[in-house]
Chains A and B, each alone.
Chain A
């Protein structure tokens, strides 16, 4: 019984802590949105968006529409299956095919061609024709040709939300230069942004590190700057909640005690409130 109470208390405290952190992240977002450095392009910190899958023209239009100056989009396309897409992109963005040389930093195979946009035109787009099947290998190939020091992998159709790139760059600029190797999202520790030298040190995206960067060189965020992409929204399974409530009532009637029923129903109701508030906070973030 003591163990059950301990678990309930721990659960409640953990959920409350997560919620408070999320509210703080919202306040921080409002404060970061008032900073001018990223909008004026004063920082000079470059960010490369690595698009390993789901490349299509509409998505590239949205990504290239981000107004931050020092931004680049590196899109990996398999020319064997999508040769027409590469042709359309070349025509639309006046890409030229340039020479590709593998660097010693990442293990990259299967590259057929590299295309860059020209200077004084759409300089910010790079298209890599690569045959790799694994998303991590495609990301490595994209990282190999990226020009900037900070890399943001976008997989599963995810895209940065409106203003997210500017906020991320401001977070980097708020720390001493070159002191940040990684930006992670809590509580899952998903890496959002890698510094190139740190990524080379851990062996690239194929290495799949959990959190190999030391804490002082890491920024932890509680609010995701990315859209959900192709993932389904997490829905509250009201049928499951109802079933659990019915079970609690039945159990209470069986044992003749009202404690479990009251505790169970109160906990479910409280969790539903937390979920609704978190969903409301997510609703404030706009897609590109």
Chain B
């Protein structure tokens, strides 16, 4: 028994020790290379942008280093995120010349879990690469939620015209992070983002996307759509999100729908909303009809903490 325990324990230590040593050595080598790679990335960013402006591709410093494909992919992703209205073809050509597209597919297929999610996310941040088909069906059904989100973004990146259809077909409610990534992608592709059909849609995810668009672009004309959502009792969370969006736009908070929505909230939620309104700068007189007497006193005290008392002598 002693011998079995001894040998079993030693095998465990030996196996994990080898694994640890490999990770340690890889980490140490990465640490040594990092300063030089950062320098090369900075230089290459300038070279890439210069090549795009002059419309003549030039070799980049980062192409002749270790992990060149990964560095090139990260560089192109960051430059692509900073460009607006620029044709992605030159960037795509650069990636295809170095085989980054095939490298990415290989990375996604050979890795699991968060490594796969990272590789997919990087793929989604790059300009479209026609040579590789984003066959994401198996990754869209991956048990890891991070992989599923990243795979959805790859799909949206490749077929932005299908973005709204894909968002509507998601069976679970999308989180704020997911919706904001979709919004980021839509902005990058310069698709017309019409908020009205989204707010009027019956699909919750599309309504969430519509709210985020209204908030992001401060669309003050969206009052009617927001009030309609606030009045709806089907989804309390969505109604509250619409109310917060209205506050963020500093629109007047009048009407039965808003009062009824506030009455449906718990005391804690009302406290949070009060704090939000005070921060957004709503005067007590503007919102006095929304609160009871006690709440009005509390709101006035909150607003006072943003003001100074002028003393005239």
Quote the shortest CB–CB distance from B266 to chain A (angstroms): 9
Q: How far is the CA of A85 from the CA of B182 in the complex (A)?
A: 46
B60 at the interface (CB under 8 A from A): no
Q: How far is the CA of A273 from the CA of B19 in the complex (A)?
A: 10
Quote the shortest CB–CB distance from B14 to chain A (angstroms): 8
- Which residue from A8, A40, A100, A277 sits with its C-beta under 8 Å from B24? A277
Quote the shortest CB–CB distance from B295 to chain A (angstroms): 12
Q: How far is the CA of A286 from the CA of B136 in the complex (A)?
A: 35
Q: How far is the CA of A119 from the CA of B279 in the complex (A)?
A: 11
Q: How far is the CA of A99 from the CA of B181 in the complex (A)?
A: 40
Q: How far is the CA of A259 from the CA of B3 in the complex (A)?
A: 9
B125 at the interface (CB under 8 A from A): yes
Chain B binder among A50-58, A172-180, A221-229, A233-241: A172-180
A231 at the interface (CB under 8 A from B): no
Check if A12 sits within 8 Å of B184, measured CB to CB: no
Chain A binder among B43-51, B89-97, B251-259, B301-309: B301-309
Q: How far is the CA of A178 from the CA of B212 in the complex (A)?
A: 17
- Which residue from A96, A145, A273, A280 sits with its C-beta under 8 Å from B28? A280
Give the residues in chain A near B304, CB-CB below 8 Å. 98-99, 101
Q: Which of B83-133 contact A (CB under 8 A)?
A: 113-115, 117-118, 121-122, 125
Check if A267 sits within 8 Å of B13, measured CB to CB: yes
Quote the shortest CB–CB distance from B292 to chain A (angstroms): 15
Quote the shortest CB–CB distance from A231 to chain B (angstroms): 23
Quote the shortest CB–CB distance from A278 to chain B (angstroms): 10
Q: How far is the CA of A267 from the CA of B115 in the complex (A)?
A: 30
Quote the shortest CB–CB distance from B25 to chain A (angstroms): 10
- Which residue from A5, A16, A31 sits with its C-beta under 8 Å from B114? A31
Q: How far is the CA of A68 from the CA of B248 in the complex (A)?
A: 17
Size band of the B side of the interface? 35 or more
Given known contacts A98-B307, A101-B301, A177-B241, A12 and B12 CB-to-CB distance under 8 angstroms = yes
A197 at the interface (CB under 8 A from B): yes
Give the residues in chain A near B16, CB-CB below 8 Å. 12, 16, 270
The number of inter-chain residue pairs (CB within 8 angstroms) is 145
Given known contacts A16-B16, A27-B113, A266 and B10 CB-to-CB distance under 8 angstroms = yes
Give the residues in chain A near B28, CB-CB below 8 Å. 280
Check if B184 sits within 8 Å of A98, measured CB to CB: no
Q: Which of B157-184 contact A (CB under 8 A)?
A: 173, 175-178, 180-181, 183-184
Given known contacts A12-B12, A31-B121, A280-B27, A36 and B173 CB-to-CB distance under 8 angstroms = no
Interface string of A256-275 (1 = CB under 8 A from B): 00010011001101100110
Check if B31 sits within 8 Å of A280, measured CB to CB: yes
B275 at the interface (CB under 8 A from A): yes
Q: How far is the CA of A31 from the CA of B111 in the complex (A)?
A: 14
Check if A266 sits within 8 Å of B13, measured CB to CB: yes
The chain A residue with its CB closest to the CB of B281 is: A119
Give the residues in chain A near B237, CB-CB below 8 Å. 176-178
Give the residues in chain B near A12, CB-CB below 8 Å. 9, 12-13, 16
Give the residues in chain A near B212, CB-CB below 8 Å. 42
Give the residues in chain B near A182, CB-CB below 8 Å. none
Check if B24 sits within 8 Å of A9, measured CB to CB: no
Give the residues in chain B near A248, CB-CB below 8 Å. none
The chain A residue with its CB closest to the CB of B6 is: A259
B216 at the interface (CB under 8 A from A): yes
Check if B23 sits within 8 Å of A277, measured CB to CB: yes
Check if B176 sits within 8 Å of A43, measured CB to CB: yes
- Which residue from B6, B176, B279 sits with its C-beta under 8 Å from A147? B279
Q: How far is the CA of A196 from the CA of B121 in the complex (A)?
A: 33
Give the residues in chain B near A97, CB-CB below 8 Å. 308
B17 at the interface (CB under 8 A from A): yes
Q: How far is the CA of A176 from the CA of B237 in the complex (A)?
A: 10
Quote the shortest CB–CB distance from B177 to chain A (angstroms): 4
- Which residue from B2, B298, B305 sits with its C-beta under 8 Å from A1? B2
Q: How far is the CA of A27 from the CA of B115 in the complex (A)?
A: 6
- What are 22 inter-chain pairs, A to B, with CB distance below 8 A? A1-B2, A27-B114, A28-B114, A31-B117, A36-B180, A36-B184, A37-B181, A42-B212, A43-B177, A45-B176, A98-B304, A105-B271, A116-B306, A149-B272, A173-B177, A174-B178, A177-B241, A196-B272, A259-B2, A263-B6, A276-B24, A277-B20
Q: Closest 5 A-B residue pairs measured CB to CB?
A: A37-B180, A27-B114, A173-B177, A42-B180, A101-B301
Which A residues lie at the B interface, using CB under 8 A? 1-2, 5, 8-9, 12, 16, 19, 23-24, 27-28, 30-31, 34-37, 40, 42-45, 96-101, 103-105, 114, 116, 119, 145, 147, 149, 170, 173-178, 196-197, 200, 259, 262-263, 266-267, 269-270, 273-274, 276-277, 280-281, 283
